[in-house]
């Protein structure tokens, strides 16, 4: 029960972070700035926590190259997630974020050539049917670039899960999150001379709030996974759609159209089927390994993902 409560609180923080990013974007803060400050401000917060708990030694690693490579891929996924949140209404962007397990199944079957059973293929078909309902191809009521960013995030986050699985064999979850933030800040810092602009006190307060809510969400996810397994608490992540809808109504006076109301349940149902199936198949994997992979991936991307079995 404690794990579920912590997970629900984490979803509130993540939804608030994406809401703040959308508002900041509308106030003139560019996407590279949003990503940079989200990552850069997290670094001292995480480091302070590790120093306070006398566990800074977990940052030691012999796989710095792997961390940098995974941070590059993960930063691209984070850019897509934030891009979708700024280009689309929050409920639509949040719903598209749930497509990552679908792409993970496709990568498992088409690239890694592992066997995928009928349950997961059925979930993939169901999930992409939901995407088509939301995107409404041909009528173009939803920003095509936003749809592309949301689906791009799904692809990249799915690909990152395989890098994370490799890193989780030797690295602590919080260490992976720290190096992700560190290298992500370095990568996006190169774009600041091109995109950075002057901002008022309100915008800077928003950027600080974005970093704080994101970092708190990371720690809440970590805490939740100390008291419950990924497959047990992952269902709570779908409550982020409720908060996205609430913020859309509260700030933008907008409610999701009927297409989202029809498409979102299909995507969520697909994710639940994959979660159930992965839980069944992952009984061959140790609980500790499964928990570490899920913890790292969720903290990095802001979106929970079940690790594909047999990869």
Distance CA 90, CA 198 (A): 26
Six-digit token pair at 192?
């600041």
Q: What is the pLDDT of residue 309?
A: 33
Task: Give the helix ranges, DSSP H, for the chain.
Answer: 2-26, 31-40, 42-52, 64-87, 90-97, 100-106, 118-135, 144-167, 173-189, 192-195, 201-227, 230-233, 240-252, 258-281, 287-301
Q: What is the pLDDT of residue 288?
A: 43
Six-digit token pair at 198?
């002057």
Six-digit token pair at 95?
């719903």
State the 10-residue block means of pLDDT for the chain, 311 residues long: 87 94 95 94 92 92 92 92 92 89 82 79 88 72 84 87 81 87 94 92 96 87 71 77 93 87 88 79 53 48 42 29
Q: What is the pLDDT of residue 199?
A: 93
Q: What is the dihedral of CA 98, 43, 9, 283, to 10 degrees?
A: 60
Q: What is the pLDDT of residue 292?
A: 46
In three state form, how does the secondary structure of 153-196 look? HHHHHHHHHHHHHHHCCCCCHHHHHHHHHHHHHHHHHCCHHHHC
Q: The whole model's pTM is what?
A: 0.81
Nearest residue to 239 via CA among 82, 7, 17 = 7
Six-digit token pair at 133?
């309902």
Distance CA 162, CA 191 (A): 27
The answer to whether the beta carbons of residues 84 and 238 sit under 8 Å apart is: no
Q: What is the pLDDT of residue 307?
A: 37
Residue bearing tokens 């990013």: 21
Q: What is the pLDDT of residue 140?
A: 53
Q: What is the pLDDT of residue 44?
A: 94
């Amino acid at each position: 029960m404690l794990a579920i409560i912590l997970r629900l609180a984490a979803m509130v923080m993540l939804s608030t972070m994406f809401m703040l990013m959308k508002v900041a974007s509308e106030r003139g803060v560019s996407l590279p700035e949003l990503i940079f400050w989200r990552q850069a401000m997290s670094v001292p917060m995480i480091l302070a926590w590790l120093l306070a708990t006398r566990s800074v030694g977990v940052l030691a690693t012999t796989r710095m190259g792997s961390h940098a490579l995974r941070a590059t891929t993960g930063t691209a996924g984070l850019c897509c997630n934030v891009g979708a949140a700024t280009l689309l209404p929050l409920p639509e962007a949040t719903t598209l974020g749930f497509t990552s397990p679908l792409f993970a199944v496709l990568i498992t079957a088409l690239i890694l050539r592992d066997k995928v059973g009928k349950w997961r293929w059925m979930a993939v078909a169901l999930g992409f049917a939901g995407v088509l309902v939301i995107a409404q191809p041909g009528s173009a009521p939803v920003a095509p670039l936003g749809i592309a960013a949301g689906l791009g995030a799904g692809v990249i986050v799915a690909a990152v899960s395989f890098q994370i699985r490799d890193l989780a064999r030797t690295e602590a979850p919080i260490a992976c999150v720290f190096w992700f933030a560190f290298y992500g800040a370095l990568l996006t810092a190169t774009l600041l001379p091109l995109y950075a602009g002057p901002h008022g006190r309100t915008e800077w307060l928003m950027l600080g709030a974005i970093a704080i809510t994101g970092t708190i969400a990371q720690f809440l996810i970590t805490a939740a996974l100390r008291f419950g397994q990924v497959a047990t608490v992952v269902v709570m992540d779908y409550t982020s759609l409720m908060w996205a809808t609430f913020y859309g109504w509260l700030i933008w006076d907008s409610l999701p159209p009927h297409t989202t109301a029809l498409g979102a349940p299909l995507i969520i149902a697909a994710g639940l089927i994959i979660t159930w199936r992965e839980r069944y198949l992952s009984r061959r994997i140790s609980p500790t390994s499964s928990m570490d992979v899920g913890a790292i991936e969720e903290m990095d991307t802001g979106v929970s993902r079940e690790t594909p079995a047999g990869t």
